[in-house]
Every structure is written in C-alpha cells, then in structure tokens.
Structure 1
C-alpha cells in the first residue's frame, strides 16, 4: 500500500514537471516569435524617430533600396532568378550613379564621385538559419498549403482584401500583406493555422506590432519648398529662366533592368535675376502626397526650357559667369530623410 502511494505521488510530480517544462518551452517559442517580428520590422525600417536623428543613422532595407521588400525572402537574401525571361534580380549594394530622367531626351547619369550614393541590396537583413529559412519561433512550415491572394489574420484598414501571401518559399511560414504603402506580417502561432482553434493562448495569431505604415518609411514633402541660393559673390542676371529642383530617388524593384531612379520634381519658377546671397523657393505639389522613401537622395537644380514640367528638362549648370555650360557642372546637394524624422532642410547653392 505504501509503495502504491509513493508511485502515485511520483507520477503526479512527474506530470507537473512535464506540464511546467512544456509551458516553459511554449513561452520561449512565443517570445522568440515576438522577437523575430521585431527583427523583421527593424530590418525594414532601421532606427526610427529621435534615435535615428540624434545618432545620424540611416540603415535598413528601405534606406538601401527605396521600396518595401517583396516578401520575407527579400530580407534573407538578394533575389536572383535567371530561370525567367527577362531575368529578375535585385541590384547588389555598392556605389551607384544617380540618374535624372529627361523625358524624351533620355537619361542623364551623374557619375562624378561627389554624386555617387551607396544603394542596393546588402544580401541579408535578418539572420536566417544555416539552411536559409527565417521562420517563426514555432518553426511554422506551410509547404504546398501556402498561397497568394488571401486574407492574412491582420486585415489592413481600407484595404481591397485578398492582398496577403503565405507562399512558403517566399514568406517562410509567415503571412505577409502589402496594402498600398503599408506592410503587415503575421505568425499563425503554435498550431500554424489562422485563429485560436482551442483554448490554448499560444495558438493565437501574432501580428507584427505596430505594422509598417506609410509614414514609417516615407516622408511626405507635399507643399514643402527647396531654397536655391546665389552664393557666387555677384548678381546673377538670368534673363528669365525657368528653374526647378528634383530629388533623385533610387528604387530597387528586382525587375532585372538595372538601377531605377525616380525624379521627384518641384514646380518651375521664372527667375530673371538673383542678388548675391538671395534665394528663391521652388515648391513641391500641394495636392496629394509626395512621398520620399527614407534614405539619402541627391537634390539637383533643373532647367525647364519650356516652363513648368517640360518633357525635356536639362540638368542646370549655372555658374558665376552667368552662362549655361552644358550638363557637366551640376548644382547638387545630398539630402538625408529619416524615418519619422520630419522633412529635412532642402537647400541648393549656386557657386
């Protein structure tokens, strides 16, 4: 009888220990999933707000590439696919010459050392396992069950629906939603399926919190102006020239056709003369968002021959002799945009 009692007690203790260990392991996996979601958000945005501004740090997927990642795979490795025609590939990280779109006149490339920017895909933004996967803490694998054009657990406000993707090869067991300029990531939790199917709290879906919203990775310059100063030491008599400014913004969209540069231009301003140390302002459009991705971009002065946004603007080359000298002496300035850092001071100086 005493032996039986001892066995019962030992069995109860063993059961409690097993239950405790199981709960501890589940909590570890839960916490690991939360940490991985935080790592994904940090990999996309880098430091944000005051922390980035105070330290002058620009890093993260958006800073390097100018766009949101297509999927989790894009955070793990540089996408290169030669099996399709044309080939699909992210541009690799390195010094890149900004390009100004001159409309029907073609593109002008700024290849001087002072113009080059570090852009492109670095190869890895999150630390994946040796096998190349970056799964949640539960090791969720969806295999052939994954699909595109679905609703993930997190439904974006105002979204069109069916914008989610949980294809395993692309999103490593996560469910990712790209909706307009927003990015959402969900883990399916312990059971690897949407919803809490039993009473176990670890089965709850876990969203990336907060999600990545437009204002996290873009700075809206709507209605803001670029100031253009005369720093030549003399009055510039220009005789009625239409001038504007443009931000040259790099976008690495993995389409395989080389670097992609967008010219985000201000309105043109008619300038007759400009006194020494005087300036004029060229405003960006005041209707609708004018989004600039976080990162370092090149600001350039633009000649608008026909006034307004002509089809063939030339890069401006104002000099102290008051002459236009081709397109080799560009008036430029590097400008840094920080996540949640507000609109930076945008200034060009004619010297």
Structure 2
C-alpha cells in the first residue's frame, strides 16, 4: 500500500513539472523586455540617412538626364551619334536669363506647350523636313529646292524619365534645380543643397553644365576643300539652322566663300580652295574677323556650291562633332 502511495506522489510531481514548463520563465520575460526596449530606443537616424542617400543619388542621376537632354554624344558601330535639344534646334534651350529654381526653367526640355517659351521666342518650328534658306553675296537670297530639305526643329520631350504628375522635373526632395544660361553659350544647372530644404550631409551645392565647346565648333576648325573646274565663279555655303526667330528665312544663317573660275576658262586646270580662318563671310557683315569665336552647332549641316544663277552645282552634308577633329569634306564643280 505504501508503495502505491509513493508511486502516485511521483506522478503528481511529474505533472506539476510539465505544467510549469508550458509558460515563460522570469528570465525569458526579462530578456524579451530587454530586446523590445533596445529596439524601441534605437534612433531613426540610420533609416532617415538611408532615405536621404537614395534621394541624393536620384538627384545626381537627374542632373545627368538634364545634360543628356541638352546635348548627348554616343557611339554606335564606331559611328558618332548626336542627340539633344541643341542638335535639333541649333541653339540652347531658352531660359529666363536669371538663375532660378522655378521648375518652368526646364519646361523647354519637357514639352512644347503654351507658356514654356520663357524667353519670348513663341514660334518654334516643330521637327520636320525644312528647306534651307541661303543668303549669299553673288547668288542672292533664296530657298533651296525640296530635295535638299533637312530634318530640323523641336521634337521634345527631351526630358521624359523623372517628370512628376504635375509635369515638373524636380530633385529628390521635390525642389527645383537652379537653371541659367550665358551669352557665351553655356547652360548651367545646379542642385542647391544649401537652400535650407535639404538635410546634412546633403546640404552642399552640386553644379553641372553644358559648356559652349561641348555643343559647338569654331568656324576655324572646319575643313572644306573645293575644286572648281567650271568657267564661272562659285559660292560655297554652309547653312546653319537656329530655331529661334519669327520667320522661316531668319532661322537660317549662311556662312560662305567665293571660289574663282577656272583660269583661262580651261576646265582641266584645278582650282582648290580651303575654308581657312580668313576666308569666311556672312552677308551683311562681310569677312568674319573672329572665326575662332564664331561657332557652328553640333549636328549635320548642308553644304552647297552655287553659281550666280542660283543653280546648285554640288551638295553634301557636314557632321559637326564638338571636342573632336572635324572630318575633311571634298567638293568638286565640273
């Protein structure tokens, strides 16, 4: 009988031990409370810095997009590919003239719509085939025939990625970039980190620019050779499109040079002339005294050889590539 009682007692103790093991011990509860306290006391600065770093990286990427929208040069199968606002239009995007963070400063790169022509040039031609207009000394002024049309004009948007639902292009904190341009042909865009709207350590300025030599080439660097076998004087002209004027003919600027006839009227005598720095002319101005600071925008430009009767005797296109050795263009007139 006593043996049975001892066995029963042991069984009860075992049940009690199992019941106690089903809950948390005091030590476990203390450890859990300690962990919760540590998590709750962890500062949110790390999370904030991670978020601000992403915003900063986004801002720098957007500045690169602005640069490419103004002018971009890439290579495909060893061929230079030029794109951007200045290639299509021959001029920089219009700005208000004063450095400003107003989002409207970037509207010309976003889309052609009412209100974006903030410099007063309200009649920008849309991208299409446009006939060049020549202004020469001997041949006079005339629009060339349709076969010589050029694909020029505004074909935005040049900025597409990163534009918000309001049609604005802002930095990672929703603040406008500071945009301005200079008479020398520079286009500047700046992240104004120190304007009080950006947290440390991202509260410093970061500047970007497309300089005048990034998208233009001086006349003095062009290399055009002309051979005139004919018995008449010829004018060699490069027609430059600039999409900022009130009429079609005013959108074209002509730089030219007169080529003498073959000596004695003998066609077999070769007369080769190179457009050197002292030979360029412009109607209404005469000889260009500063071809080193007279610029041709990047892109393709038509070259014509014309006689006094406005007959085009030779034609080609010159691809102008900034910060590069310009290709030599050879023209002949029989």
TM-score, length basis structure 2: 0.72
CA distance in 1 between counterparts of 2:109 and 2:128 reads: 17
Structure 1 match to 2:231:
237
Structure 2 match to 1:262:
253
Q: Greater Rg, structure 1 or structure 2?
A: 2
Count matched residues. 276
Give the direction of change, closer, same or farther, for the CA distance of 1:110–1:193 in structure 2 (3 Å limit): farther
Quote the RMSD (CA, aligned, Å): 3.2
8 Å contact from structure 2 (residues 313, 333) kept in 1: no
Match of 2:155 among 122, 132, 137: 122
Shift, 1:295, TM fit = 0.7
Shift, 1:8, TM fit = 3.3
CA distance in 2 between counterparts of 1:138 and 1:83 reads: 26
Unaligned runs of 5+ in 1: 141-172, 302-314, 317-323
Match of 1:32 among 46, 58, 66: 58
CA distance in 1 between counterparts of 2:77 and 2:252 reads: 25
Unaligned runs of 5+ in 2: 1-28, 96-105, 279-288
8 Å contact from structure 1 (residues 45, 339) kept in 2: no
Structure 2 match to 1:57:
81
8 Å contact from structure 2 (residues 138, 235) kept in 1: no
Shift, 1:62, TM fit = 1.0
Shift, 1:193, TM fit = 4.7
- How big is each residue's C-alpha offset from its partner over 1:231-261, in whole Å with a ceiling of 9 and x where there is no partner? xxxx5334xx3x44221000012x4434600
Structure 2 match to 1:169:
none
Shift, 1:215, TM fit = 1.4
Structure 1 match to 2:207:
207
CA distance in 1 between counterparts of 2:304 and 2:58 reads: 46
Give the direction of change, closer, same or farther, for the CA distance of 1:82–1:176 in structure 2 (3 Å limit): closer
Q: Segments of 4+ in structure 1 off by > 6 A?
A: 103-106
CA distance in 2 between counterparts of 1:296 and 1:281 reads: 22
Shift, 1:284, TM fit = 4.2
The yes-or-no answer on 1:73 pairing with 2:73 is no
3-state SS of 1:9 partner: helix
Structure 2 match to 1:220:
218
3-state SS of 2:202 partner: helix
Structure 1 match to 2:273:
281
- How big is each residue's C-alpha offset from its partner over 1:271-310, in whole Å with a ceiling of 9 and x where there is no partner? 3436448341142434522311001111112xxxxxxxxx
CA distance in 2 between counterparts of 1:344 and 1:250 reads: 20
Shift, 1:205, TM fit = 1.5
TM-score, length basis structure 1: 0.69
CA distance in 2 between counterparts of 1:89 and 1:275 reads: 47
